[in-house]
Structure 1
Amino acid sequence: MRSLQFRSRGASLSYDLTGQGDPIVLVHGLSGSAHWWRRNIPALSAAHRVYVLDLAGYGQAWRQRSLGVREAAALIAAWMDSLDLHRVTLIGHSMGGHISMHVAALRPARVQNLVLACASGLLRASPYRVALNLPRAALTGRLTFVPRILGDAVRSGPRNLWRSAADLLRDSVQDLLPELRARTLVIWGGRDALVPPALGRALAAAIPGARYEEIPRAGHVVMVDAPARFNALVLDFLREEERAAP
């Protein structure tokens, strides 16, 4: 796996690259990092070129100031332009799903498939209420993953976390959902205590042709809590496209 960096207008994006084939881009959520996809990368990279991002303020890029969801989306769009990526499958978790919807709206000719995992685009609450739900959200998922959640949060720092949380809660994707043209799969954890499954169903209903899948025993970090099922859903979704191609 190669570690690389992209810079544009004073902001930078760190990413790892592995595999061969059509591109998959993995976008982590609030307080996350590239490490959150560790259980998914081997399955996804077997037949795809996988780019694993660290957003500004997180993971390898923790020293930077975090960006708002629209700023982050514009940076990812510019990065995709710089690499001339086509037939992209964007997979975003939580805040990363929120960002990915904006990227798909900005670059419809590049983003072919969109996978939204417990995405935050329709979440409406105060940052304080979301903060209060974080411990419960962690405890409804895989307990062995809690140290990673805490470690990444500490590394990002309270200012980056607060800035990101406040921005995503101010931003709504409601108006852009009917305009999305990417094939879309929405995956949710049935035990998600941070972004309730009802919001996932509403998200899927608002995106033309979107499919909704719920994994009953998974929590908010669905790709960590149920990696085998998550990977199977994503790969089956991509194979459906391949079978439908002339």
Structure 2
Amino acid sequence: MAILPAGFRYLRPVLPLGAHRKPMNADADLSLAGQVRLVADFLEALNLDAVTLVHSDWGGALFLTARGLDQRVARQVFLPCEAFDNFPPGLPGKMSALAARVPGGLQFAAHQLRVGWLRRLPVLFGQMARRPVPDELVRCWTEPLLRDPRVRRDLTAYCRTRFDKAGLIRDTEALSRFHGEVLVLWSPDNRVMPPSHGRRLAALIPNARYAEVPGAYVLSMLDNPEAVARELGTFLRATRAQEA
């Protein structure tokens, strides 16, 4: 947060995707559609308007427009994230989906993530981050999953979503109806979230600008935080100046 521009309010909701410390109710809808609804509920509960919504890695919030739930969103920033039919994304996403279907699979995967050399394998984080992800960060991400079976239940519910590829493409393309300012800030050296998806998003959204983060994979805010913060700051200040 320290390298982002001052004068803006930054909120980071923790969605029930495995790193959340407080489990959801057992009957909560944690499918992809349910998670999209949670994002809309978050904006509504805090009475947020004219929001700049930043997407990174998880792509579910792209579908607010398709669901008619984007009234509180004025601008959007797309870092490398799931889009079109790329759910679950690439090799790491497919391995996560497989782990969720094997008894004890998610716990096993979380333990593997805590081992540095294993974490850098392509099936784990080797294609997600070019730089080694710090141990302390990974421990924070995995601690709730390992500690609480209810958190594992929540993540399992999401991972077992049945994805309709044609529907995912259609819902992504609904962003053509979003007329706020958009920055698509993609990573060109990215095998999990294809570079073509970034350019495709920028082409279909009316007021979108495309830029790239050099030397980064999916987790560009970890691989090149200065470049991400610089582009995001430029975008935020420019759109605020337009509204003044």
TM-score under structure 1 length normalisation? 0.69
Summarize the alignment of residues 92-107 of structure 1 with structure 2, pairs less than 5 Å apart. 92-95=55-58, 98-105=59-66, 106-107=68-69
Summarize the alignment of residues 124-163 of structure 1 with structure 2, pairs less than 5 Å apart. 124=86, 129=91, 130-131=94-95, 133-138=123-128, 140-145=129-134, 148-149=137-138, 152-153=141-142, 155-156=144-145, 161=155, 163=157
Partners in 2 of 1:174 and 1:183 — Cα distance? 17
Q: Does 1:167 align with 2:156?
A: no
Q: Which amino acid aligns with 1:224?
A: L
Q: Which amino acid aligns with 2:70?
A: P
Corresponding residue for residue 91 of structure 1: 54
TM-score under structure 2 length normalisation? 0.70
| Structure with larger RCO (C-alpha < 8 A, sep 6+) | 2
Partners in 2 of 1:108 and 1:126 — Cα distance? 23
For structure 2, the residue ranges without an aligned partner over 5 or more in a row are: 96-121, 147-151
Deviation, structure 1 residue 225: 0.9
Corresponding residue for residue 217 of structure 2: 219
Corresponding residue for residue 107 of structure 2: none
Corresponding residue for residue 54 of structure 1: 14
User: Cα deviations across residues 61-120 of structure 1 (Å, max 9, x unaligned)?
Assistant: 36347822321121221222222211111112111xx22222355343311111111120
RMSD, aligned α-carbons: 3.0
Corresponding residue for residue 191 of structure 2: 193
Q: After alignment, is 103-112 or 154-163 more displaced?
A: 154-163
Partners in 2 of 1:185 and 1:111 — Cα distance? 14
SS at structure 2 position matched to 1:44: coil
Q: Which amino acid aligns with 2:141?
A: D
Q: Which amino acid aligns with 2:82?
A: S
Partners in 1 of 2:45 and 2:4 — Cα distance? 23
The structure-2 alpha-carbon separation of the partners of 1:71 and 1:42, relative to structure 1 and needing over 3 Å to count, comes to same
Give the number of aligned pairs: 203
The structure-2 alpha-carbon separation of the partners of 1:151 and 1:123, relative to structure 1 and needing over 3 Å to count, comes to farther
Q: Which amino acid aligns with 1:152?
A: W
For structure 1, the residue ranges without an aligned partner over 5 or more in a row are: 1-40
Q: 1:104–1:111: 8 Å Cα contact kept in structure 2? A: no
Larger relative strand fraction: 1
Q: Which amino acid aligns with 1:134?
A: L
Could you tell me the percent identity over the aligned residues?
23
User: Cα deviations across residues 112-131 of structure 1 (Å, max 9, x unaligned)?
Assistant: 11111112022436778432
Q: Does 1:121 align with 2:119?
A: no
Q: After alignment, is 198-207 or 162-171 more displaced?
A: 162-171
Partners in 1 of 2:221 and 2:141 — Cα distance? 17
Q: Does 1:108 align with 2:70?
A: yes
